[in-house]
A and B are shown apart, each in its own frame.
Chain A
């Protein structure tokens, strides 16, 4: 019981001192900022997150900061960004495949249709193999 009383006294005193000191620090910092006269401007969340990531990246080198924390890109989990990127590329490929028939001059099966391989060979046939001027 005596221990508990002593502990409670320490808690009240300790937390009181910590709050008082940091409250004083708050006041002093506010005063310094007022004297600094730098204006406060609203910024977008994207800008703020980029700045915060920059600060965090530097501090990550400190001992006691190494955590198996998933990497982030602009605040988004890196895994998610990678998944979005793969999905985007896949979607682009699908669009290209779907658009392919419209881009063709001749449909497969027509006599005029030629695969890229054949077309390249035909083009090469049009060039003389002999050196120019002979």
Chain B
């Protein structure tokens, strides 16, 4: 017959089920639903959901000292390697042509980072420490790898909720941006048409761009060097055309593999006992605030540019300065066409959007510098 000890061993898993772990498994199902049925960031949300589920199963060996998820976390999150490798892929897929055609749009990218610092203040007022507040604020970069990089250095214990918030809100760009744009602009402003002029960007300039940006940003904000360096490395490989195999690998195979590892490792941090806190709720709410303030600041700054240029800048392109390339630009174009079907702003919005991509990395580096961390 089976003795009492064997029965206890057999039921060890069931005996260790907690309401927190069950709740988190439920959260992982919601994330899976969003990824599979709603198509919200499936590449990242599905591995995160899987990591969350695996980590919350009772006595999960996956998060034990030598468990696979723990090894992945130590391999790429603790030393910030995964987000940086993803940045190489993003650089290899991003064409900064629209920004190079109209460099003044870079200022819209800067304005689109205001939410980071505003949210930092709100988080401080809610009782978070300065490092935690900066990590929450960085959700306003609307840039997944930057959020992971900065929060991984400043507040690693908050990495899970911050990453989930950052990527989930990026998926909600088409839902969050239009009401903010409509609230802050009049119909007349939204109907402003911007003329197009195409400047042929030579290969030399396209190659010089990533080098100039890396040297400039790296010299002035050394804390941003890893982020900007990897982003621009990907872009340099793409624009040089000399290493097509590496470019393709960075944008596809490497990015896909790292995304899977990153998602699983982030998901493994969402253990019920750590995740289910009031602070998580605050992080999710403050993330939305950061996003909204970013978009609002971008639109308001574009209004100033419109006034300075004598009505030649459509203020709604400011909302594309929040990074989230290229979806924010597409949303801006859609909003413009709701009022005037023949108003084509996509190229201008893409310029602001590309500027936001660079600006979010710069803001991340500036934040690290101000907090005296990283490097």
Query: Which residues of A are interface residues toward B (Cβ below 8 A)?
Result: 3-4, 6-8, 10-11, 13-15, 17-19, 21-26, 28-30, 32-33, 36, 38-49, 51-53, 55-56, 58-69, 72, 75-77
Contacts of A11 in B (CB 8 A): 117-118, 120-121
Contact call B344/A63, Cβ cutoff below 8 A: no
- Shortest CB-to-CB span from B328 to chain A, Å, is 10
A91 to B268, CA, bound (A): 57
Q: 5 new A-B pairs (CB below 8 Å) besides A22-B107, A52-B329?
A: A11-B117, A38-B205, A45-B344, A49-B346, A63-B144
Contact call A18/B113, Cβ cutoff below 8 A: yes
Let me know if B162 is at the binding interface, CB within 8 A: no
Contacts of B337 in A (CB 8 A): 75-76
Contact call B144/A42, Cβ cutoff below 8 A: no
A21 to B311, CA, bound (A): 26
Contacts of B116 in A (CB 8 A): 14
Contacts of A67 in B (CB 8 A): 40-41, 170-171, 173-174, 327
- Shortest CB-to-CB span from B57 to chain A, Å, is 26
Contact call B259/A65, Cβ cutoff below 8 A: no
Contacts of B358 in A (CB 8 A): 22, 25
In the complex, residue of chain A having the shortest beta-carbon distance to the beta carbon of B40: A68
Contacts of A26 in B (CB 8 A): 103-104, 106-107
Most chain B CB neighbours (cut-off 10 Å) among A6, A23, A51, A67: A67
The interface size of chain B toward A, counting residues with CB under 8 Å, comes to: 88
Contacts of B204 in A (CB 8 A): 36
> Which of B4-12, B63-71, B193-201, B276-284 lies at the interface?
B193-201
Contact call A45/B205, Cβ cutoff below 8 A: no
Q: Which of A21, A33, A45, A69 is within 8 Å of B220, CB to CB?
A: A21
- Shortest CB-to-CB span from A42 to chain B, Å, is 5
Contact call B362/A22, Cβ cutoff below 8 A: yes
Q: SS class of chain B's interface: helix, strand, loop or mixed?
A: helix
Contacts of B227 in A (CB 8 A): none
Let me know if B298 is at the binding interface, CB within 8 A: no
A56 to B106, CA, bound (A): 18
Contact call B107/A7, Cβ cutoff below 8 A: no
Query: Which residues of B are interface residues toward A (Cβ below 8 A)?
Result: 38-44, 86, 89-90, 93-95, 97-100, 103-104, 106-107, 109-110, 113-114, 116-118, 120-121, 124-125, 130, 133, 143-145, 167, 170-171, 173-174, 195-202, 204-205, 208-209, 212-213, 216-217, 220-221, 251-252, 255, 259, 324-327, 329-331, 333-334, 337, 342, 344, 346-347, 350, 355, 358-359, 362-363, 366-367, 369-370
Contact call B167/A64, Cβ cutoff below 8 A: yes
Contact call A51/B43, Cβ cutoff below 8 A: no
Contact call A63/B255, Cβ cutoff below 8 A: yes
Q: SS class of chain A's interface: helix, strand, loop or mixed?
A: helix
Contact call B39/A68, Cβ cutoff below 8 A: yes
Contact call A38/B201, Cβ cutoff below 8 A: yes
Pairs across A and B, CB under 8 Å, 14 listed = A7-B117, A8-B121, A13-B370, A18-B110, A22-B362, A23-B110, A26-B106, A29-B99, A46-B344, A55-B95, A56-B329, A65-B326, A69-B174, A69-B327
Contacts of A45 in B (CB 8 A): 196, 342, 344
Among all A-B residue pairs, the 5 with the closest Cβ atoms? A7-B121, A11-B117, A45-B344, A29-B103, A56-B326
In the complex, residue of chain A having the shortest beta-carbon distance to the beta carbon of B367: A14
Contact call B216/A24, Cβ cutoff below 8 A: yes
A14 to B145, CA, bound (A): 20
Known contacts: A14-B117, A18-B363, A36-B202. The answer to whether A52 contacts B347 by CB under 8 A is: yes
